[in-house]
């Protein structure tokens, strides 16, 4: 039995019955444009004249007139007993200046997106994307091959079978209550966060948390202090609110709050990654934590604490959160499961300073995406409640420490004369310092050409220059991949020319 050819839908075919232009000519023009712009393609079948007549409320004779003109000009071909089709071999002469061309008037450059007064590079969109393979040295990528997917699937099967169908309807935009309970218990126990489940909003990763804060709380002309260098996702979110950005340098003790006090006596928001500064990897000292809290109190400012990978600390226990030291309820605390479990999960949490602040965030979350996927939240809540989450963290902490040590040893052995690296006490990446004459952006570009991903430190700067360096991720790669990656990086660096 021959395969039945599906007819084209009559979407976009709208006639103006009050126009002076005859209906057959309007139909002819609309069909012709659909063919010329590629919306209707060669070999596709048009509905019959009766269908056109009924759906467009016109006579069959009007349709026949339009079809006949298009057949004469070579756009359509009729097959007896089969119907009318778009011509496969449309004559070249019809592809003239009338064919739609990309407009240059309103063209958006693909490499930069203009947000507010500054540009955010498309790396924000394309970072860490992979389709068929994982390429060293992507940053922030957990070891997917070591995630207990068998356990995860068992939870899916168990809950998918017995879950009441009402659970699949619309839910509270702030998140699934048992998951918020599980997150609150975890944060209180392991991160010394002062919170209840009622203060938590479940979000689709840290980036959405930053975006919601920007939507709800940032007003035009507000003064926002950002770590420099720092995470460009934050920059993208706050720029959309058209605020004043004040870069604050980072050193071995974290964000330099003394610089902020001296140069920015009045601020409204402070963004910081105190447990493991991104990208430099430093930790905010206790004295600076206290000074930062006092500065925020004096300015009546809000602190955004991004605790993106603090679970992975390799010397001693994970440091307690800055939020746990806050006595004035000025900190918005953000965490994510994307780096701890797997990026495709797209779930995280935003802990608000008080229950009273939840409602506007619930509204903003509803507007943004209504709610995070309910079934994923249910599975994650069970994963945490049953103890699999903390067990997985402990296992990964040991594995990642081993991989960091191996990577540093390989770098020192193979290219220690060209890259200077030191162990990091926490996190999922290291910073490798290049010789002064090297351009880290150029090295990053050469690495991409050689199937490697390393991030130039200079890409994260706002104002303060850093020595050339590469941000290198290691957690998602076994020893063989790390070794092969170092070998390729060695070839790039040893053949480097300015």
- Residue 104 confidence (pLDDT): 45
* Domain-located, residue 117: no
The domain spanning residue 428 has which CATH number? 3.90.1150.10
Q: What is the mean pLDDT of residues 260-266?
A: 92
The domain spanning residue 167 has which CATH number? 3.40.640.10
Burial of 340: CB neighbours in 10 Å, binned 0-12, 13-18, 19+: buried
Between 160 and 209, where is the model more confident?
209
Alpha-carbon span 197 to 182, nearest angstrom: 8
Which of 29-43, 84-98, 380-394: highest mean pLDDT? 380-394
Tell me the backbone φ, ψ of residue 461, rounded to 5 degrees.
-85, 150
* Domain-located, residue 330: yes
The answer on 187 and 79 residing in a single domain is no
- Residue 401 confidence (pLDDT): 96
The answer on 276 and 157 residing in a single domain is yes
User: How many domains does the chain fold into?
Assistant: 3
* Domain-located, residue 191: yes
- Residue 7 confidence (pLDDT): 72
Q: Which of 361, 390, 419 is the last residue of a domain?
A: 390
Domain that holds residue 39: 23-94
* Domain-located, residue 59: yes
pLDDT tens track for 360-380: 999 999 998 888 988 999 999
Alpha-carbon span 308 to 339, nearest angstrom: 8
Measured between alpha carbons, how far is residue 472 from residues 175, 401, 453 in Å? 34, 14, 8
Share of the chain above pLDDT 70, in %: 87
DSSP 14: -
* Domain-located, residue 64: yes
The answer on 371 and 347 residing in a single domain is yes
Measured between alpha carbons, how far is residue 436 from residues 346, 439, 440 in Å? 39, 8, 10
Alpha-carbon span 225 to 248, nearest angstrom: 7
pLDDT tens track for 418-440: 999 999 988 999 999 999 999 99
* Domain-located, residue 238: yes
Sign of CA pseudo-dihedral 379, 320, 296, 271: negative
Burial of 68: CB neighbours in 10 Å, binned 0-12, 13-18, 19+: middle
- Residue 484 confidence (pLDDT): 95
Q: Is the pLDDT of residue 113 over 70?
A: no
Kind and range of the H or E run holding 76: strand 76-79
- Helix 440-449 to helix 479-494 angle (10° resolution) is 120
The answer on 224 and 187 residing in a single domain is yes
Between 229 and 220, where is the model more confident?
229
- Residue 13 confidence (pLDDT): 83
The answer on 270 and 170 residing in a single domain is yes
* Domain-located, residue 130: no
Burial of 273: CB neighbours in 10 Å, binned 0-12, 13-18, 19+: buried
The answer on 194 and 231 residing in a single domain is yes
Q: Is the pLDDT of residue 244 over 60?
A: yes
* Contacts of residue 320, Cβ cutoff 8 Å, sequence gap at least 6: 191, 192
Q: Which of 94, 115, 133 is the last residue of a domain?
A: 94
Alpha-carbon span 174 to 179, nearest angstrom: 11
Between 75 and 146, where is the model more confident?
146
Q: Is the pLDDT of residue 260 over 60?
A: yes
Asked whether the beta carbons of 180 and 200 are under 8 A apart, the reply is yes
The answer on 171 and 282 residing in a single domain is yes
Q: Which of 365, 390, 415 is the last residue of a domain?
A: 390
The answer on 195 and 84 residing in a single domain is no
Q: Is the pLDDT of residue 98 over 50?
A: no
At residue 165 the predicted structure's pLDDT band, cuts being 50, 70 and 90, is low
pLDDT tens track for 454-493: 999 999 999 999 999 999 999 999 999 999 999 999 999 9
Residue 44 three-state SS: coil
Q: Is the pLDDT of residue 199 over 60?
A: yes
At residue 112 the predicted structure's pLDDT band, cuts being 50, 70 and 90, is very low
Kind and range of the H or E run holding 361: helix 358-369
The answer on 455 and 368 residing in a single domain is no
The domain spanning residue 61 has which CATH number? 1.10.10.10
- Residue 371 confidence (pLDDT): 85
* Domain-located, residue 483: yes
Alpha-carbon span 247 to 258, nearest angstrom: 13
- Residue 387 confidence (pLDDT): 95
At residue 114 the predicted structure's pLDDT band, cuts being 50, 70 and 90, is very low
Q: What is the mean pLDDT of the chain?
A: 86
pLDDT tens track for 321-361: 999 999 999 999 999 999 999 999 999 999 999 999 999 99
Measured between alpha carbons, how far is residue 321 from residues 82, 251, 311, 368 in Å? 71, 19, 11, 28
pLDDT tens track for 270-300: 999 999 999 999 999 999 999 999 999 999 9
- Residue 119 confidence (pLDDT): 45
The answer on 211 and 188 residing in a single domain is yes
The answer on 293 and 191 residing in a single domain is yes
At residue 130 the predicted structure's pLDDT band, cuts being 50, 70 and 90, is low
The answer on 402 and 316 residing in a single domain is no
């Amino acid at each position: 039995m021959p395969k039945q050819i599906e007819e084209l839908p009559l979407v976009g075919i709208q006639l103006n019955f009050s126009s002076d232009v005859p209906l057959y000519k309007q139909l002819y023009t609309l069909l012709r444009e659909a063919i010329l712009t590629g919306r209707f393609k060669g070999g596709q079948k048009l509905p019959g004249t009766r269908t056109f007549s009924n759906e467009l409320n016109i006579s069959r004779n009007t349709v026949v007139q339009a079809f006949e003109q298009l057949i004469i000009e070579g756009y359509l071909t009729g097959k007896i007993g089969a119907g009318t089709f778009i011509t496969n071999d449309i004559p070249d002469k019809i592809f003239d200046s009338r064919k739609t061309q990309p407009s240059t008037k309103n063209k958006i450059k693909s490499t930069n997106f203009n947000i507010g007064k500054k540009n955010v590079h498309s790396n924000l969109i394309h970072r860490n994307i992979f389709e068929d393979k994982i390429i060293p040295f992507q940053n922030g990528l957990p070891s997917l091959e070591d995630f207990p997917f068998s356990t995860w699937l068992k939870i899916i099967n168990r809950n998918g079978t017995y879950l009441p169908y009402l659970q699949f309807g619309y839910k509270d935009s702030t998140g699934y209550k048992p998951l918020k309970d599980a997150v609150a218990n975890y944060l209180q126990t392991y991160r010394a966060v002062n919170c209840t489940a009622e203060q938590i909003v479940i979000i689709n990763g840290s980036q959405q948390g930053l975006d919601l804060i920007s939507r709800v709380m940032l007003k035009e002309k507000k003064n926002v202090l950002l770590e420099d260098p720092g995470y460009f996702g934050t920059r993208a979110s706050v720029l959309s609110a058209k605020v004043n950005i004040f870069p604050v340098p980072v050193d071995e003790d974290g964000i330099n709050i003394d610089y902020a006090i001296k140069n920015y006596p009045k601020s409204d928001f402070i963004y910081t990654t105190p447990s493991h500064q991104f990208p430099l990897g430093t930790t905010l000292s206790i004295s600076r934590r206290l000074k930062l809290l006092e500065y925020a109190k004096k300015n009546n400012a809000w602190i955004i604490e991004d605790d993106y990978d603090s679970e992975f600390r390799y010397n001693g226990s994970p440091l307690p959160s800055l939020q746990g030291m806050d006595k004035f309820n000025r900190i918005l605390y953000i965490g994510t499961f994307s780096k701890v479990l797997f990026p495709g999960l797209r779930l995280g949490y935003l802990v608000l300073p008080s229950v009273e602040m939840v409602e506007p965030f619930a509204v903003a979350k509803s507007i943004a995406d209504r709610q995070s996927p309910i079934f994923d939240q249910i599975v994650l809540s069970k994963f945490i409640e049953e103890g699999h989450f903390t067990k997985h963290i402990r296992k990964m902490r040991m594995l990642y420490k081993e991989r960091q040590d191996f990577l540093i040893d390989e770098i020192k052995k193979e290219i220690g004369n060209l890259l200077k690296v030191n162990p990091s006490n926490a996190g999922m990446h290291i910073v490798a310092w290049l010789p002064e004459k090297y351009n880290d952006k150029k090295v990053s570009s050469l690495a991409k050409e050689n199937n490697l991903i390393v991030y130039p430190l200079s890409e994260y700067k706002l104002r303060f220059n850093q020595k050339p360096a590469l941000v290198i991720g290691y957690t998602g790669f076994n020893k063989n991949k790390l070794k092969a990656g170092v070998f390729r990086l060695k070839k790039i660096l040893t053949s480097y020319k300015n």
